[in-house]
């Protein structure tokens, strides 16, 4: 088993879904974990469930001041900041010609801007402490392939992939690895509503060779590996975990439902 003993991690979007699964796996691997989310109620419940190795911070990752405080506070509380996972993000299924400026900005500010702020301030803390660190950005297959109705999300996740590469390029020589994970379809509270529609679920499953969604625990297992010393030469790469969906193309979320 990969160990994260004596490591301190910050996980954003940690109150549910992929973020919570990663926080859970990090605790099991021996890490102290600061869970961050905007949902205080869900965050408090997650911290209570995961136990004394965790603490919660309500934070909006689109606000740089809040992000800086989280990263600095984690280092001050535990003595170091070793791992940061940027999982917070969301999208919207809306035709490009109907997407409002407000919705576009909202997606970009959290899903792209939040990752940038977290990488920036995590790296600053890691550089100041003079101790190697790992930053993991949760991207998506939509960073590599287009999807109907998801222009804002696809653009944001493509940007996340480039932040990962640029971060690896600039920080690798200074002891900080920046890597990514690109999940395919994962059944989480954010996707469950759409997947309860049988027609929508069929559209997704028809383009996954393995015929099932990815489990959040599978993403978490990859995060533990990437954060561990067993992955010490992996830098600037985004690992795709999608059941093979990139081999088939993305489901037609707008026109497919009209057929």
Q: What is the predicted pLDDT for the residue at 16? A: 95
Identify the band that residue 193 occupies on the pLDDT scale cut at 50, 70 and 90. Answer: confident
Token readout for 9 is: 């991690």
Question: Dihedral angle at the C-alpha atoms of 249, 158, 171, 127, nearest 10 degrees?
Answer: -120
Left, alpha or beta for 184 (phi > 0: left; psi -120 to 50: alpha)? beta
Question: How far is the C-alpha of 95 from the C-alpha of 246, rounded, in Å?
Answer: 22
pLDDT in tens, 129-182: 999 999 999 999 999 999 999 999 999 999 999 999 999 999 999 999 999 999
Domains and CATH numbers, the chain: 8-258 (3.40.50.720)
Give the pLDDT confidence score for residue 148 in this predicted structure. 94
pLDDT at 258 over 80: no
Q: Is the pLDDT of residue 256 over 70?
A: no
Instruction: For 37-87, write each residue's pLDDT tens digit.
Output: 999 999 999 999 999 999 999 999 999 999 999 999 999 999 999 999 999
Rounded Cα distance, 65 and 57, in Å: 13
* Residue 123 neighbours by CB under 8 Å, 6+ apart: 133, 135, 167, 171, 176
Q: Mapping DSSP to helix (H, G, I), strand (E, B) and coil, where does residue 178 land?
A: strand
Q: Give the model's pLDDT for residue 133.
A: 98
User: 204-252: per-residue pLDDT in tens?
Assistant: 899 999 999 999 999 999 999 999 999 999 999 999 999 999 999 888 8
Q: What pLDDT score does 236 carry?
A: 98
Asked whether the predicted pLDDT for residue 110 surpasses 70, the reply is yes
| Residues catalogued as catalytic | 153
């Amino acid at each position: 088993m990969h160990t994260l003993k004596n490591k301190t991690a910050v996980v954003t979007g940690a109150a549910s879904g992929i973020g919570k699964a990663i926080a859970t796996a990090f605790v099991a691997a021996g890490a102290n974990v600061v869970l961050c989310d905007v949902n205080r109620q869900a965050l408090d419940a997650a911290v209570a469930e995961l136990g004394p190795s965790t603490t919660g911070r309500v934070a909006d990752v689109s606000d740089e001041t809040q992000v800086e405080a989280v990263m600095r506070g984690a280092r001050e509380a535990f003595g170091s900041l070793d791992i940061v996972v940027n999982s917070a993000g969301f999208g919207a299924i809306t035709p490009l010609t109907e997407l409002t400026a407000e919705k576009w900005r909202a997606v970009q500010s959290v899903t792209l801007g939040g990752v940038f702020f977290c990488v920036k301030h995590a790296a600053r803390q890691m550089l100041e402490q003079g101790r190697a660190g790992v930053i993991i950005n949760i991207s998506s297959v939509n960073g590599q392939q287009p999807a109907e109705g998801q222009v804002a999300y696809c653009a944001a996740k493509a940007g996340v992939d480039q932040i990962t590469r640029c971060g690896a390029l600039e920080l690798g020589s200074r002891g900080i690895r920046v890597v990514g994970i690109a999940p395919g379809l994962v059944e989480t509270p954010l996707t469950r509503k759409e997947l309860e529609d049988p027609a929508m679920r069929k559209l997704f499953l028809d383009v996954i060779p393995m015929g099932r969604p990815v489990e959040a625990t599978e993403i978490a297992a990859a995060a533990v590996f990437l954060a561990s010393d067993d992955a010490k030469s992996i830098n600037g790469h985004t690992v795709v975990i999608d059941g093979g969906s990139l081999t088939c193309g993305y489901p037609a979320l707008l026109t497919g439902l009209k057929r």
